[in-house]
Structure 1
């Protein structure tokens, strides 16, 4: 046997770098073996609107896209993207610190500063990179990060990249957070990381109390408002605004891929030294900037969200109606009352969840199937993300679909 054959023969054994994924492969194979369509590989053949698409040849209501404010098909947003595409081309082919800052990038950051009424704004190529970059740059070796155990993967990855000491506390537990803060060694740098809305269950953090405790203990505060920007708060600035503590937050992280309706991420801050981040933040310095058409759509969308009170009110009505309807049908939900545009429907297990997901898809409804380890407490969830463009009639149609699919699969 030659050396190449030896390598190939050993590949299936201890030398196989893919062996760490065997449990996931077995889980996926188990779902597919039951005849259920792959819930993590859906293809949308044509997108008709913020709330509908053709999936598997069927007109499907979209209830799992995070398109909270329905901006993806806004005529002004689309026109801004077209104009930038024609005037500036398809991409920058460079980093923001080299040739990758166009007029549109500055205009987008200006729109963010105006939206949040803050001094500084920094746009990243993705929301993931915003967390990865800001967290890993401001909190390094010897510093301590106190964070909610249910924090998003990008937050955890930012902690790991910066090599700070990450100290998690029980989800939304104010007392547990305070205890961990008080154990941080004297003189060490402290950063508390929270989220306005947690994306799995759609529950809201008690930010008012948490931010107060963080400040009393000398910590800086970073709040990820990815799932609340545009929707929560009088001006759509998120849970920080609704709780009245936006001025006490050192950093607010957000994304363009939710309410803004495109792609990208950002951080806004009033810290006087914030601009140095443009030169020392590796995920910002060493990646290509967003295409001109993307920042043009983002800037236009952000400015329109400043005047989106009617849309916000309708989205709240949608959330209340769907939550009440699902609850009355007998489904177990992630929150007792509607707290955001996310409504999580708890499934008995992954197999049942996959069956329910497929039954809904055949009814003409797309939702997210969320599974461990991404979900808290090893739960399997069907995650519904409402949109301001869903009509009252669509919400009632969705409830009928859930009732039929729930009875067919034995969930209710």
Structure 2
């Protein structure tokens, strides 16, 4: 009998070889206590968190927590149903209203995760006979949405406007076309040239979906993302986002001005056939979204943190994923997986948690340490982080 797990043997062997050296498993870290958006207790030690997506530090915001506690008391622990049946509570509508106000758009649809938002929207609007044109470094949820919808996938070179334009010109003029882009790419933290990409997409008669998961709340004058920053928000047919980054909870969403958008609630399978978010989660999310509208000072502080850390790591001799700071993500390129894991562990021993990212999640087969800054990191913490990187880098021989 064929062992269906045999396909994973190379990965199992790689993991066993890595752990046989005595390195802590970097993918099984347990946080025993979370003290704030930037500090947790890991392995019994107080640790600075530089590997969460808590960009705006909303997880411990007093108003957000109070909203969740109130909803938990008044509406219970869960909905036990789909949004199209008994799973739409007052809080779900209020959360969608907050999103519509935040983006200034006509329609908002909340999903139970950000992954489901991409899976549901892409698979529903682009089906057999349609084309999805996407950046080759797109998130797994985007690729999975394409596969589920059975559309023809047309990838193009990362952030290459000319390559996108060439792909579009080769497609049948009368075919349904959806161009899927991301504002900030999650591994290297680089931003997309959305203005140029949306222009060539519209010229080719394509609809445009932009995933702003890693830019919502932070980038743009009002925190609406890279599309707002580049002045093309109104040219986007769909904006996808998540609550698990700047909003500080869990869930996903799509906002749109398309006049027929509401039909998605009846035809989008990952929306129709899954339980809706618990009342406390949507209440926390709505409160957080409304506060993000007025967080200009926190956005400015996060930019300062990003610039300071980026320059400091360059000055220490590390190789980074971008030449300049472009987002709250700073990727530190490692020579290989083994030394990347050793560096990750050395940083943990120093009292710093970052993400170890490896292929196939990373582009071009890279191993990297991904640092995700938070608006709640103090200037002193950023200085401390740089000292930890210097000590660990010298210990492992990376610098």
Same-fold call, TM cutoff 0.5: yes
From 229, 240, 245, give the equivalent of 2:216: 229
Q: Which residue of 2 aligns with 1:290?
A: 277
| C-alpha distance after superposition, 1:240-293 (max 9, x if no partner) | 000000000000000000000000000000000000000000000000000000
From 115, 131, 135, give the equivalent of 1:128: 115
| C-alpha distance after superposition, 1:141-185 (max 9, x if no partner) | 000000000000000000000000000000000000000001111
CA–CA separation in structure 2 for the residues paired with 1:26 and 1:409: 24
Say whether 1:190 aligns with 2:169: no
**What TM-score do you get using the length of structure 1 for normalisation?**
0.97
Q: Which residue of 2 aligns with 1:249?
A: 236
CA–CA separation in structure 2 for the residues paired with 1:186 and 1:110: 37
Q: Which residue of 2 aligns with 1:265?
A: 252
Say whether 1:411 aligns with 2:398: yes
Larger radius of gyration: 1
Say whether 1:386 aligns with 2:364: no
Q: Which residue of 2 aligns with 1:159?
A: 146
Say whether 1:168 aligns with 2:117: no
Root mean square deviation, CA, Å:
0.4
**Correspondence list, 1:85-124, <5 A:** 85-124=72-111
DSSP-derived class of the 2:35 partner? strand
Q: Which residue of 2 aligns with 1:138?
A: 125
Q: Which residue of 2 aligns with 1:67?
A: 54
Greater CA drift, 22-31 or 287-296: 22-31
| C-alpha distance after superposition, 1:344-375 (max 9, x if no partner) | 00000000000000000000000000000100
Say whether 1:82 aligns with 2:69: yes
| C-alpha distance after superposition, 1:180-225 (max 9, x if no partner) | 0011113110000000000000000000000000000000000000
| C-alpha distance after superposition, 1:93-116 (max 9, x if no partner) | 000000000000000000000000
| C-alpha distance after superposition, 1:383-404 (max 9, x if no partner) | 0000000000000000000000
DSSP-derived class of the 1:49 partner? coil
| C-alpha distance after superposition, 1:311-330 (max 9, x if no partner) | 00000000000000000000
CA–CA separation in structure 1 for the residues paired with 2:193 and 2:398: 32
From 20, 25, 32, give the equivalent of 1:45: 32
CA–CA separation in structure 1 for the residues paired with 2:340 and 2:259: 48
CA–CA separation in structure 2 for the residues paired with 1:203 and 1:320: 14
| Structure 1 runs, 4 residues or longer, greater than 4 Å off | none
Say whether 1:375 aligns with 2:345: no
Q: Which residue of 1 aligns with 2:268?
A: 281
CA–CA separation in structure 2 for the residues paired with 1:343 and 1:23: 29
CA–CA separation in structure 2 for the residues paired with 1:73 and 1:23: 41
Unaligned runs of 5+ residues in structure 2 are none
**Correspondence list, 1:334-349, <5 A:** 334-349=321-336
CA–CA separation in structure 2 for the residues paired with 1:104 and 1:140: 32
Q: Which residue of 1 aligns with 2:226?
A: 239
DSSP-derived class of the 1:351 partner? helix
Q: Which residue of 2 aligns with 1:5?
A: none
CA–CA separation in structure 1 for the residues paired with 2:294 and 2:10: 48
Distance apart, 1:30 and its partner CA:
1.2
CA–CA separation in structure 2 for the residues paired with 1:243 and 1:237: 11
**What TM-score do you get using the length of structure 2 for normalisation?**
1.00
Distance apart, 1:88 and its partner CA:
0.1
